[in-house]
Amino acid sequence: MTDLDPTTRDALAELLLAMADDEFVLGFWDSEWTGIAPILEEDVAMSSVSQDEIGHARALYELLAEVTGGDADQIAFGRPAEGYRHAALMNHARSDWAFTIARRFLYEHADAVRLESLAASSYQPLADLAVKMRREETYHILHFDLWLKRLAEGGDESHARLAAGIDRLWPDAQTVFAPLAGEACLVAARILPDTLEAMRARWLERIRPRLEAAHLPVPTTPGSPGADGRTQRTDEFAWLHGEFTMVARSEEDATW
Amino acid sequence: MGSKDRVWEVFRQEAEGDPMIHGGSVNAPDEELATHYAREFYGRRQESERLWIVPRDAITELDDPDLLKPPFDRSFKRPGGFLIKHKLEAARERAGGDGGSSTEEGAE
């Protein structure tokens, strides 16, 4: 528990849950590549990156549990599918390799912008965690920038599949920066040093030259994401939720 | 692995100042991915201070037994090549002492 006032505490909890769910759900989707990635070395690399995300989610859920007085495992595994607050970008099944790379590219840069901002958060435990996560995310950016380039230059089919992935994910990618109910409160308290819309502008500046260099279309619509960017759930996510909560649900009160 | 992949040998240093030792190899189509994979296999558990990633075809191999395993006994060229244990024992016998034999055990 912390000495924050209830309004600020709820707003902080909303932010932490959004970030944790982003990392958690993406980590689960991409862990599905374990055993079937295009080459053995990439299989290990993708699995390890996915584990990194689950690790980040765990750290964020633990921080959230401290703020709200809850239990990290319960928050992670004990909610119904509609209780998750990840961005709509993470609602999609992994699909093919190009689609997975398109999502990783869009998400990693969004996450990087978010963590850079939060490294200056007035809420010190969050600032400390952001600094720590950024060090691990350095490699993620390198890896998925490289894969974007490889697929873009890998021939007509891989370029077309990648372009289709970017195009399909574009509207939902904006929702990583969907407004939060308590955002104004967080910005006023400098817990969130920048507005999400300012972060989205920074993200667009960063991904645009990379997409252009890869001769990939940069969609111009839609603009700002709506307030429902983190509350829409799909059948695909409902299926994944069933998978990742299966063991936890098998013995509700078990001590593992 | 794809048909265009090359093999890269990975050397690692466990602590600053240690020699680079061979860790193993990875398959990758280019230097950048080879670097990423080397990091995944030989560096992501904080076990390495530094990695060297070398394309296998850049390595010049020498394994000719005529050059590396000459057939004649050249053991006298090695630091341990001279066996003096028995000479010492004989010398002690001649001198009539029992001399602390334990101190010379490593002296061959």
Percentage, residues of chain B above pLDDT 70: 83
**d(Cα A189, Cα A197) in Å, to the nearest integer?**
17
Whether B12 and B52 map to the same domain: the answer is: yes
Q: Which residues in chain B have Cβ-Cβ distances shorter than 8 Å to A42?
A: 37
B74 found inside a domain? yes
Tokens of A27: 């980590």
Number of domains composing chain B: 2
Q: How far is CA B54 from the centre of its chain?
A: 18
**d(Cα A183, Cα A23) in Å, to the nearest integer?**
20
A1 found inside a domain? no
In chain B, how long is the greatest CA-to-CA distance? 75
Backbone torsions φ then ψ of B82, nearest 5 degrees:
-90, 125
Number of domains composing chain A: 1
Supply the range of the domain harboring residue B19. Answer: 6-58
A127 found inside a domain? yes
What does the angle CA A119 – CA A123 – CA A126 come to, to the nearest 5 degrees?
A: 50
Q: What is the CATH number of the domain that holds B35?
A: 3.10.20.520
CA dist list (Å): A31 to A78, A114, A139, A161: 20, 23, 17, 21
The mean pLDDT value of chain A amounts to 95
Whether B45 and B80 map to the same domain: the answer is: no
* ipTM exceeds 0.85: no
A256 found inside a domain? no
Supply the range of the domain harboring residue A109. Answer: 6-217+229-250
Whether B51 and B78 map to the same domain: the answer is: no
Contact status, residue A96 vs residue A161, Cβ threshold 8 Å: yes
Strand order in the sheet with B50-55: B21-28, B6-13, B50-55
Whether B15 and B40 map to the same domain: the answer is: yes
Q: Using 50, 70 and 90 to split pLDDT, how confident is the model at B97?
A: low
Q: Which residues in chain B have Cβ-Cβ distances shorter than 8 Å to A142?
A: 36
**Subunit contact A44:B41, Cβ cutoff 8 A:** yes
Identify the pLDDT of residue B98. 57
Q: Out of A38, A39, A139, whose CB is closest to B39?
A: A139
Q: Out of B2, B5, B36, whose CB is closest to A143?
A: B36
Per-residue pLDDT of A40-60, as tens digits, reads: 999 999 999 999 999 999 999
Q: What is the CATH number of the domain that holds A205?
A: 1.20.1260.10
